[in-house]
Structure 1
Amino acid sequence: MARIGYARCSAQDQSLDIQVERLKSEGCQPIRSEKVSGASRDGRTELAAVLDFIRKGDELVVVRADRLGRDTRDVLNIVHELDQRGAFLTVLDPHISTRGESGRIVLTVLGMVSQMERRFVLERQREGIQAAKAKGVYKGGTRRLDREKVLTMKADGHGTAAIAKALGCSRMQVYRIIGSEAQAPSV
C-alpha cells in the first residue's frame, strides 16, 4: 500500500512548496505535482500518471479538495476511478477519506463549493474587465511566454518537453502555442 501525494496550483508563478512539504510530512511517496488549472482534467499529465499508476489498496492524498479539481464531476469521476482500482482518496484539510460513505458525501459538497467559488472568481474577473474596458484602460492580458521563441525552438527540432523545460512552462502551454500557429490562416 502506497500513499501517493498529488499537489497542484494554477499559475506558473505560484509555489507548490507548502503542499509538497505537507504531503512529505504525511509520509507520501511518491509525490507528483503540476502547475495547471484545476478547471478540468485536460492537460493534467501528472494526475493522469497517478491514476494510471495507482493500485489496489493505495491511497491518493491531496492537501485540499480543490487541489484535486475545481469541477465537481471531475472530482467525483476521479473518486470513481480510484474505486474501480480498489484505491481511495484522502483529503488532509479538512480530513476526509473515501474509505467511508460520509467522506464521499462531504467530498461531494466540497467539490460543489469549489466549483461555485471558481464561477464567482470568473464572474468577478469578467466584471472587472468590463469596467476597465468601459473606462478605456483595458489592454488585455499580457503574454507570459515568448511565442516566437517557442516556434523557433520547435522549428530547430526541439521537442515539446525540452521547450517547456527551457522556458519554465508546462508542455500544455507549448502545445497550445504550436497548435494555434498551425491553425492560423496563412497570408
Structure 2
Amino acid sequence: MRLRIINAGGDTAFRFGVTGHQLTITHTDGYPVAPHEAESVVIGMGERYDAILTAGDGVFAVIAEALGKVDQAVAILSTGAGSPPPPGTALPQARTPTVAADLTAADDVALGSKRADRTIALELTGTMEKYDWAINGTRMNMDNPLRDALAISEGTHRSYHHELDHDVASHASAWTHVPAPRRRPPQGHLDRAPRAVPSP
C-alpha cells in the first residue's frame, strides 16, 4: 500500500512507523527520491512523505511519536486475525530513524552539479519568550514585507550558510533540523535538485 504521511502540526516533529514493518520512502514533499528503506522516519512540521508498505497478516500499530514530548498518536492496521496492540505499545528503534538528509533525489530528476555564484549568510535569531524571530537581526515588516527582502535573481546559483544564535539553539534541543533533499526553489536552482512536477 502507498502511504502519504503529512505532519500538519505547527511545533512538533514526529517519528512515524508501523510496528513489524519497513517503509520504502519514495517521495518527499511530492518530489521523487531514490527508494530508501526505513524502520521509521522523522517528519518535521509541514513535511510530507510518500512511502510503500507491504502489509503483513495480522494486527499492527501505526505510531506517530511526538519527539521531545511524552506522547504519541496510535492507529491500528488490521489485515487479518489478531489482538490489537496493548496500550503503551512503542515504536521500535532497532535502526536510526530516517531523516530528510538521508535521502537523495531520484536519478531521473537530479540536476548536474554547478558552482554557486553567491553565498548568502543567514543568522536566525529570536527568543521563545518574546517570539521576536528575525533573520540577520531584522524582523519582517508586516506593512511592507518585501522592504528588507534579500534580492535573488532567477537563474542564480547560490549556497546558504545559516547559524542559530544561542537562545534559539537552546530552545531547539527537542528536535534536530536537517536539510531536505536538494530540491528546486521557486526561482533558480541548486545543484542536484529534482526538477519533476510534484506528485498529486
Q: Give the TM-score band, short-chain normalised.
A: under 0.3
Tell me which of the two structures has the higher relative contact order, counting C-alpha pairs closer than 8 angstroms and 6 or more residues apart: 2
The structure carrying a bigger helix percent of its residues is: 1
The answer to which structure has the higher strand fraction is 2
TM-score, normalization by structure 1? 0.28
TM-score by length of 2: 0.27
